[in-house]
Structure 1
Amino acid sequence: MSEIINVLTNPDSFFKRRMTERIQFKVPALIVILNGLLGGLSGYIMVKALLSSAAVGGGFAGAGAIFGALGGFLGVFIVWPIYTAVFYGLSALFGGEGSFKRSLEFVGYGYIPALFNSLFGLYVLNQVSSSLQASSADPTQMAQILTSDPMMQVATLVGIIFQLWSANIWIFGLKNARNLNLRSALISVGLPVGLLITYSLINYIGGIV
């Protein structure tokens, strides 16, 4: 537990210490697996609610929900190396040195804030899904209903906050894994994460306008 607290409160010191130790994926992999499980549960709840609201047969709704769960679970494992590859590639422009495996390990620790976000997201989905199932709206209108829902809008803002927290961890993780100065690490992580946050904000503004 103290290790997790150190990542969240003093990531630079944590990663400096980890650089003196061999690469280990046990803890970061566990963090990603937990995120995957929560993502799978969220996917199941959301797809089931959407299909139920569209009056899809019970068997098809159940199968669709299972595919939603698989997508939510596997998505985290796909995004983890993609994030790492993007950070790794951008850091190479600044003369970054260090193995991809070490970067992958450190990026995994950055998913800790996502756990808190996923738990909050599950709460919001449970609240919203009941409204969706009771709705008779056309499936094409569901996206608009979701983006305009006040709780989903709050979830978007909370998600951005936790994304920034993850980015802070990734900055110091990349700084140490790739032997970068703080500015180079900030740009390598901040550029792609900033684009994702901008996209989220555009969707958020679109939902409240």
Structure 2
Amino acid sequence: MPSISALLTDPDGFFDRQESDPSLKGPLVVILAVVAVDAVAAVLQSRFMSQLFEGAGAAGGLVTAIQAFTYIFVVAGPFVAWLLYAGLFHAISVVFDGDGEFSTTLSLVGWGFVPSVLGSVASAGINYYRFNVRGIDVPAELTQESMQQFNQALQTGPLVALSAALGIVFTLWSAFLWTFALKHARDLSIRGAALTVAGPVLVAVLISLRTLLVAVEVL
């Protein structure tokens, strides 16, 4: 497997080497690493979620269905993101006369999710501390006022802000790697590659920025 340190320290040279013999094996390992970390985080958070559902008086079958959907989302989400980013980058690069196979784009874009592994680890640690160590009070009675206060507690606070801020940092880090990935996968200038990556990444950053602003109660 190619050196991750080479990817992080010399992305231009790394993707130049990968372009000649693109393989999905390495990127698949990266995405599976994201899935593994997110799955562990979901399991650790399941205790809190069970308490929440029990407090809400939800039926056992409904709780099981919600938890199953959560695990499906955790497993499928990174793969969907990989395909979505690769597809958008491949399509947008046509505007800049991009040339190259989609399989090459998919392979090289997959390497750009390495920062997401670190981001998932950081997010899992923050959420574990937030829900399982410090804790959030689940309302004993479900009234409109108690649920409003509970939702506010879930969406605000320094830990939510920290998680959102880190999400922006790791997304921008991925964008930096994706710029070099598209340069080589689609035979673009560095400017064309940067503009190709900018649109989808800007949307992701704005979503995280909104979460950050809500967390610090600006919105």
TM-score computed with the length of structure 1 as normaliser: 0.89
Deviations 1:129-164 (A, max 9, x none): 2323x4227556544222212112111111111111
Contact 1:36–1:72 at 8 Å: present in 2 too? yes
Q: Aligned residue for 2:181?
A: 173
- 1:65 and 1:142 mapped to 2: Cα distance? 20
Contact 1:103–1:178 at 8 Å: present in 2 too? yes
SS at match of 2:20: coil
Does 2:164 correspond to 1:156?
yes
Call closer, same or farther: CA 1:181–1:151 in 2, change over 3 Å.
same
Q: CA deviation at 1:174?
A: 0.6
- 1:65 and 1:45 mapped to 2: Cα distance? 12
- Selected match of 1:75 from 74, 77, 96: 77
Q: Aligned residue for 1:106?
A: 108
Q: Aligned residue for 1:145?
A: 153
Q: Aligned residue for 1:206?
A: 214
Q: Aligned residue for 1:39?
A: 38
Call closer, same or farther: CA 1:97–1:104 in 2, change over 3 Å.
same
- 2:151 and 2:27 mapped to 1: Cα distance? 33
Unaligned runs of 5+ in 1: none
Contact 2:93–2:192 at 8 Å: present in 1 too? yes
When the two chains are superposed, the root-mean-square deviation of aligned CA atoms in Å is 2.1
Call closer, same or farther: CA 1:36–1:143 in 2, change over 3 Å.
farther
Q: Aligned residue for 1:120?
A: 122
Unaligned runs of 5+ in 2: 141-145
Deviations 1:140-197 (A, max 9, x none): 6544222212112111111111111111111100110000001111011012101210
Percent identity over the alignment is: 27
Call closer, same or farther: CA 1:93–1:115 in 2, change over 3 Å.
same
Call closer, same or farther: CA 1:129–1:101 in 2, change over 3 Å.
same
Q: Aligned residue for 1:135?
A: 138
- 2:150 and 2:86 mapped to 1: Cα distance? 33
- 2:58 and 2:43 mapped to 1: Cα distance? 16
Q: Aligned residue for 2:143?
A: none
- 2:116 and 2:26 mapped to 1: Cα distance? 15
1:44-55 equivalences under 5 Å are 44-46=43-45, 48-54=47-53, 55=55
Q: CA deviation at 1:104?
A: 0.3
Code of the residue aligned with 1:75 in structure 2: it is G
Call closer, same or farther: CA 1:126–1:104 in 2, change over 3 Å.
same
SS at match of 2:96: coil
Code of the residue aligned with 1:188 in structure 2: it is T
Contact 1:114–1:166 at 8 Å: present in 2 too? yes
- 1:89 and 1:147 mapped to 2: Cα distance? 35
SS at match of 1:93: helix
Contact 2:34–2:78 at 8 Å: present in 1 too? yes
Contact 1:50–1:139 at 8 Å: present in 2 too? no
Of the two, which has the highest radius of gyration? 2
